[in-house]
């Protein structure tokens, strides 16, 4: 599975976003170490805080199906279904990634056209919370 193929699946998932409040539609495609893909979209709510981001929708479905080993995620998003630039994962989603992934887990962000920018989780969330209170840059 190439980054471009994973981004294409994230774009497809983005079409299923439920985002009547922000107008931001987001799609994610999560690749397991053994090559399976779980997709997700953002799902908003009239009460706002129950909203779930696309990345967490994908992670929670995968984990609920028994997956624990992940290689990469592709993320795309934009206003009103249009991708005009990169859509980096929010801090809460980065923390969820840290729960299950190593610092070399790859985040492929799809931008306008064929643009793809890849950043490892360790760069996106240095000094992340690991439940033990140690201050390690990537633990």
Q: Which residues bind ligand THU (CB under 6 A)?
A: 19, 22, 24, 26, 42, 44, 51, 53-55, 89-90, 93
Nearest of 110, 93, 101 to residue 2 by alpha carbon = 110
Nearest of 51, 53, 43, 54 to residue 18 by alpha carbon = 43
Please, which residue, 117 or 136, has the CB nearer to ligand THU?
A: 117
**Annotation says 55 is catalytic:** yes
Least distance (Å) between residue 34 CB and ligand THU? 25
Return the CA Rg of the chain: 14
24 is in an annotated binding site: no
Per-residue CA distances from 114 to 11, 13, 64, 77, 95 (Å): 12, 17, 32, 14, 28
Q: Which residues pair with 24 in a beta bridge?
A: 79
Nearest of 90, 91, 133, 89 to residue 107 by alpha carbon = 89
Least distance (Å) between residue 36 CB and ligand THU? 21
Please, which residue, 31 or 73, has the CB nearer to ligand THU?
A: 73
52 is in an annotated binding site: no
Least distance (Å) between residue 10 CB and ligand THU? 11
Which residue is catalytic, options 5, 12, 44, 55? 55
**Which sequence positions are flagged as catalytic?**
55
Binding site as annotated, residues for Zn(2+): 53, 90, 93
């Amino acid at each position: 599975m190439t980054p471009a193929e994973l981004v294409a699946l994230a774009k497809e998932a983005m079409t299923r976003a439920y985002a009547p409040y922000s107008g931001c539609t987001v799609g994610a495609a999560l690749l397991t170490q053994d090559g399976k893909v779980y997709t997700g979209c953002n799902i908003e709510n009239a009460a706002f805080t129950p909203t779930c981001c696309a990345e967490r929708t994908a992670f929670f479905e995968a984990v609920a199906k028994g997956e624990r080993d992940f290689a990469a995620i592709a993320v795309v998003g934009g206003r009103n279904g249009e991708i005009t630039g990169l859509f980096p994962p929010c801090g809460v989603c980065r923390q969820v990634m840290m729960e299950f992934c190593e610092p070399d887990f790859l985040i492929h962000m799809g931008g306008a056209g064929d643009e793809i920018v890849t950043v490892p989780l360790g760069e996106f969330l240095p000094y992340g919370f690991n439940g033990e209170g140690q201050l390690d840059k990537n633990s």
